[in-house]
Amino acid sequence: MSHSTLDVAAIRTQFPILSREIDGQPLVYLDSANTSQKPRAVIDAMSRFMEQSYAPINRSAYRLAAEATDAYEGARSAVRRFVNAPKVHELIFTKNATEALNLVAMCWGRANLQRGDVVVLTHMEHHANIVPWHMLVAERGIELRWVPLTADGQLDLTTLPQLLDGAKAFSFTAMSNVLGTITPVRELCRAAHDAGAIAIVDGCQYVPHNVTDVQAWGADFLAFSSHKLCGPSGIGVLWGREALLDAMPPFLGGGNMIADVRLDGFTTAELPAKFEAGTPPITEAIGLGAAIEFLEGIGMTEIRRHEMQVADYALRTLTERFGDDITIHGPTNVEHRGATFSFAFRDIHPHDLSQVLDQRNVCVRAGHHCAKPLMRVLGAAATARASFYLYNDESEVDVLADALDSATDIFGF
Amino acid sequence: MSHSTLDVAAIRTQFPILSREIDGQPLVYLDSANTSQKPRAVIDAMSRFMEQSYAPINRSAYRLAAEATDAYEGARSAVRRFVNAPKVHELIFTKNATEALNLVAMCWGRANLQRGDVVVLTHMEHHANIVPWHMLVAERGIELRWVPLTADGQLDLTTLPQLLDGAKAFSFTAMSNVLGTITPVRELCRAAHDAGAIAIVDGCQYVPHNVTDVQAWGADFLAFSSHKLCGPSGIGVLWGREALLDAMPPFLGGGNMIADVRLDGFTTAELPAKFEAGTPPITEAIGLGAAIEFLEGIGMTEIRRHEMQVADYALRTLTERFGDDITIHGPTNVEHRGATFSFAFRDIHPHDLSQVLDQRNVCVRAGHHCAKPLMRVLGAAATARASFYLYNDESEVDVLADALDSATDIFGF
Amino acid sequence: MPGLDDLYREIILDHYRSPRNRGELPPPASHAVGHNPLCGDEIEVYLDVQDGIVTDIKVGGQGCSISQSSASMMSQAVKGKPVAEVRALVHRFKSMMSIEEADEDAPEVKLGDLEALQGVVKFPVRIKCAVLAWNTLTEALSTSDAGGDTTR
Amino acid sequence: MPGLDDLYREIILDHYRSPRNRGELPPPASHAVGHNPLCGDEIEVYLDVQDGIVTDIKVGGQGCSISQSSASMMSQAVKGKPVAEVRALVHRFKSMMSIEEADEDAPEVKLGDLEALQGVVKFPVRIKCAVLAWNTLTEALSTSDAGGDTTR
Ligand SMILES: Cc1ncc(COP(=O)(O)O)c(C=O)c1O
Ligand SMILES: Cc1ncc(COP(=O)(O)O)c(C=O)c1O
């Protein structure tokens, strides 16, 4: 593996919270798969916008409003570039990835799925890519099929053609938020299309850590969140192919999404306004644009390379130090995974583990990670999860390992 | 009328953008009914939160996450206090008021409305309180009835009992975003209940400018947006009575809103999580809490008194200076209106008018204000709208009037 | 900042005050309606196309001086022209508004009075107003039985 | 910051290692399941109530040391008690967890081993863990035919 090109120390100085100490100990933030921290560039872009340029979007005609609208639409262009979408109006700002996935299920689903129609999911999906489909099961009697997993936490593709046979949609994550597994998105999109299904990609975990190219993938929809890629909370993204978006009924009704409203009905606006009802997350779009520029400035290829290196170090360190006492889920080859690790440690319940790690200011998530079906497959009700990002380095793997040692002292039975 | 107790000059210094000049002229921001500007307290609360305390909400157990969760839930408590809701878990954070109204129409509506059921709206509703109901008309054949207006832009209540007869819901604005009209909310709620209907209040324009008390009103639902009350974009609020919210099906599906998810279905979480799918607008909630504290610090009673005074001055000044050349829509008695004025000026199209005003850095909105049905009632395709808030004063009324004069020079035909 | 006289040229105000070709055409004239959701402007275009020629055009709707004068000037400019030329003119106008790339190889198309709208480019928010009529025209063209239309 | 020994008292770890009253009861025992959505903890409570007395209780589920030990201690504390007393104990426990107001006039209820959970209050995030069993108990009580329950 090539050596990391990231200057993590320099990057860390750009994240104000990372110099915060609690009880005199530095913050070891290993919960970025949950939500990421924000660099100065993002915080400042939002403050500056509110201090100097805040105004309504797309509604008023004075210069301040035009300036704000340009900034907002500029963020949309940045997102387009970031995921290499063909057209800028194919990008819809939502409140989070969950809303983006619900939008697809509700609007594309209601327009295209009838009783008995099949949607294929995988056993490693986040609830955000399960529950909206459950709702369609309840509402219109569609059928869900599930791609199972291999022993090392990859998708088991041996029965994929059968599962996809007759399916209308295949919705899957590009990277598991629990296992860290990176799925073969291009291959999965092709398999979906071969079966006549559309391909919906949950990019929440993938997009913040990798170069994303929806055209190279051949995907039909992509959903992801700003808050996991150093951007603000309160905004997410749905990208969809123009023809699909154009053919879908609208989602929420209200201002901005209409062409005309009468007492007896309404007509919808063009893309992207059609799917952006009401006042959008204006300042948040500016922040998202700044986050994308920040990440591009560092380089997504470099970020991925750095995380592979950290992942490799973490796998080696934890297995060397704890052997059979630790079970790390997911692939062992860092080519097939990101730097997100769910693990079981001795018999210590993840919640207790996270409590003990928190004494050393090591922040990991304990729980089901919004992936209960996957937890049942793993045979665990909960796991602890440590997830690394561009601002984490190998030394934090060591701190994590030391903190795990201290848990043994308390629960050493 | 009692004299204003607001020190507007001091308030203005707290809004950084208000000291911005464009082309050497101060900003005369008269578009707060569209979206309001942000005080330093809100901008700083958000920056500080991202710099020191940002972390996931309700998901992780370490101290940083607990601190962030406390801050987020603290904002919910502030909102409860601000509108005097009975219970804190009756408050749902949405992305904007539009989503809040859609949530009511979709979840309460789908559970309670059958073909032929009646929902009553008014002719002065914003598209956000019309289009979601149109969608239910299309989806399940409900019937909409409309409360008409009097000549001076108030609700004409003479036929209200007949309109409400047999209705299931009455959804109305507490203050018109076009006319400025304040509606008799308590009386309307009582009339709804007398008819066996629930009362849904669109508080977007009212809540930022008045003391709000949902219990005194006897309302069942209230929707409003943060961005119109000095808070950030990207967050809105739905308040609903616990019993109604509990009985409703969920809205979006995903993380946080579930109790359990299996391959074959899911169960929902308790309030408020049930209606907050996915990662919420965390930093935005902090900002909203700060905005509420900012407004409370000044006093909603005082803000209302100040705006009545400005409204009174605006009505007098504009009619004195322009006589028949100006038509101001809505009530002339400031007891029945806020400081939002839609007007027609000579034969100059509102869009041209706003362009000319913009030359003097006077920001007004020109258009249909997301209330096309009302525009048809007014017989205008568009109006110009000047809306005043706590940071505006009488001198800006004069600037507006002077700028209107200059429009005559160009379009003097 | 650009001055208002760049925007409100006398000829624009003249077309605004006295719009040309105002009215409707009965079927089988093709018909399209365009909205500017920003400000509520509406343009209706009625089009008679015979043997690939725009034999008649009428314009309805209401809106600001820019959208209405643009519609009025447009109606004058396209009346009697072959559809192919009309499409070229649409393209030429939109590239003047800087929302389509100018086409170097395109045959020279005369803008005439329409040049007066050039100043709108300095007021980006108003570009939509100026272009509304032209988009509506394009829509009316594509719904017409423009058999002679070989430009696409 | 409070130390971990405040949280992980020996008696808590003992109940965690060797949970009491673990198992199920057949119908007509009342049954309730509680989830902590935060961490995925689950508690199942089975309850036999006869003549207003909790004659038997069994506890199932899985979770962290705090939720499991709290459930185990709870089962010991309520077994054989009148429903009214059980409800009083629930209230007493929740006020120790500072999520219900202490009731000055309430009859003194002994917490016994449960006092060991006092330290949880210093770790607010864990209060939900400690209380999960108790909320599930309350649910099981209200679904039981607790005819002798006159406390409400
Ligand atoms: C794989 C995956 N999908 C969807 C989501 C939902 O994202 P959000 O909570 O931002 O809506 C998440 C994160 O929580 C995720 O990790
Ligand atoms: C009366 C009224 N209702 C609803 C809305 C919609 O609010 P938002 O755009 O924040 O969703 C607005 C503002 O645009 C409004 O003025």
Q: Note whether A77 and A197 are same-domain residues.
A: yes
Could you tell me where the DSSP H helices lie in B3-112? 8-13, 40-48, 63-83, 97-103, 109-112
Query: Is the beta carbon of A166 within 6 A of some atom in ligand 2?
Result: no
Q: Note whether A25 and A100 are same-domain residues.
A: no
Q: Does pLDDT of D90 surpass 90? A: yes
H or E stretch at A306 = helix A300-322
Instruction: Answer whether residue B382 is part of any domain.
Output: yes
Mean pLDDT of A118-141: 98
Q: Note whether B13 and B48 are same-domain residues.
A: no
**What CA dihedral angle connects A107, A109, A115 and A121, to 10 degrees?**
-150
Distance of alpha carbon C88 from its chain centroid, rounded? 12
Q: Say if residues B229 and B101 touch (Cβ distance below 8 Å).
A: no
Q: Note whether B282 and B317 are same-domain residues.
A: no
Q: How buried is residue A89: exposed, middle or buried, by Cβ count under 10 Å (0-12/13-18/19+)?
A: middle
Instruction: Answer whether residue B152 is part of any domain.
Output: yes
Q: Note whether A258 and A370 are same-domain residues.
A: no
Sign of the four-CA dihedral A319, A321, A327, A328: negative
CB contact under 8 A, A134 and B253: yes
Single residue among A257, A276, A297 that ends a domain in this structure: A297
Q: Rounded to an integer, what distance in angstroms lies between the CA atom of residue B241 and that of residue B18?
A: 39
Q: What are phi and psi of B196, to 5 degrees?
A: 85, 15
pLDDT on residue C147: 39
The token duo for B318 is 């504009």
Q: Note whether A204 and A351 are same-domain residues.
A: no
| Closest ligand, as measured to the CA of B206 | 2
Instruction: Answer whether residue B37 is part of any domain.
Output: no
Measured from the CA of B95, which atom of ligand 2 is nearest?
Answer: 11
Q: Note whether B283 and B348 are same-domain residues.
A: no
Please state the three-class secondary structure of B271-312 as a single string: CCHHHCCCCCCHHHHHHHHHHHHHHHHHCHHHHHHHHHHHHH
Output the domain CATH number for residue B384: 3.90.1150.10
- Beta-carbon neighbour count of residue A209 at 10 Å? 28
Q: Does pLDDT of A412 surpass 80? A: no
H or E stretch at B365 = strand B365-367
Cα–Cα nearest to B313, from B334, B290, B336: B334
| Residue of A33 and D3 predicted with greater confidence | A33
**pLDDT, tens digit, for every residue of D14-63?**
999 999 999 999 999 999 999 887 777 899 999 999 999 999 999 999 99
Cα–Cα nearest to A197, from A160, A223, A246: A160
Q: Note whether B289 and B358 are same-domain residues.
A: no
Q: Rounded to an integer, what distance in angstroms lies between the CA atom of residue A240 and that of residue A289?
A: 19
CB contact under 8 A, A278 and B132: no
Single residue among A267, A297, A327 that ends a domain in this structure: A297
- Residue of A122, A126, A155, A284 to mutate, ligand 1, most atoms within 8 A of C-beta: A126
Distance of alpha carbon B45 from its chain centroid, rounded? 22
Mean pLDDT of A189-209: 98
Instruction: Answer whether residue B2 is part of any domain.
Output: no
- Which residues in A14-28 are b (16+ Cβ under 10 Å) and which e? bbbbbeeebeeebbb
The token duo for B385 is 């709208």
Q: Does pLDDT of A413 surpass 80? A: no
Instruction: Answer whether residue B1 is part of any domain.
Output: no
CB contact under 8 A, C64 and B23: no
Mean pLDDT of B165-172: 98
CA distance B134 to chain C (A): 19
DSSP A258: E
DSSP letter string over chain C?
Answer: ---HHHHS-HHHHHHHHS-SSBS---TTSEEEEEEETTTTEEEEEEEEEETTEEEEEEEEEE--HHHHHHHHHHHHHHTT-BHHHHHHHHHHHHHHTTSS---TTSPP---GGGGGGGGGGGSHHHHHHHHHHHHHHHHHHHHTT-TT----
Q: Say if residues B305 and B2 touch (Cβ distance below 8 Å).
A: yes
Contact residues for B77 (Cβ-Cβ < 8 A; gap 6+) = B88
Single residue among A255, A274, A297 that ends a domain in this structure: A297
Q: Note whether A105 and A153 are same-domain residues.
A: yes
Q: How confident is the model at residue D102 (pLDDT cuts 50, 70, 90)?
A: confident
- The domain tally of chain A equals 2
**pLDDT, tens digit, for every residue of B321-373?**
999 999 999 999 999 999 999 999 999 999 999 999 999 999 999 999 999 99
Partner residues linked to A341 by β-bridges = A386
Instruction: Answer whether residue B3 is part of any domain.
Output: no
Instruction: Answer whether residue B36 is part of any domain.
Output: no
pLDDT on residue A144: 98
Instruction: Answer whether residue A3 is part of any domain.
Output: no
CA angle B260, B264, B269 (to 5 degrees): 20
Output the domain CATH number for residue B114: 3.40.640.10
* Coil/strand/helix, residue D54: strand
Query: Is the beta carbon of A253 within 6 A of some atom in ligand 2?
Result: no
Q: Rounded to an integer, what distance in angstroms lies between the CA atom of residue A95 and that of residue A103?
A: 11
Q: Note whether A274 and A305 are same-domain residues.
A: no
Mean pLDDT of B14-22: 96
Write out the residue range of the structural domain in which residue B289 sits: 43-297
- Relative orientation angle of helices D65-78 and D10-17, to the nearest 10 degrees: 90
CA–centroid distance, A261 to ligand 2, in Å, is: 15
pLDDT on residue A387: 98
pLDDT on residue D1: 63
Q: Note whether A249 and A135 are same-domain residues.
A: yes
pLDDT on residue D78: 96
Distance of alpha carbon A200 from its chain centroid, rounded? 13
Q: Note whether A219 and A103 are same-domain residues.
A: yes
Q: Which residues of C touch A259 (CB under 8 A)?
A: 35, 37
**pLDDT, tens digit, for every residue of A392-408?**
999 999 999 999 999 98
ipTM for the complex shown: 0.94
Q: Domains in chain D and their CATH numbers?
A: 4-145 (3.90.1010.10)
Nearest CA in chain A to C2: A63
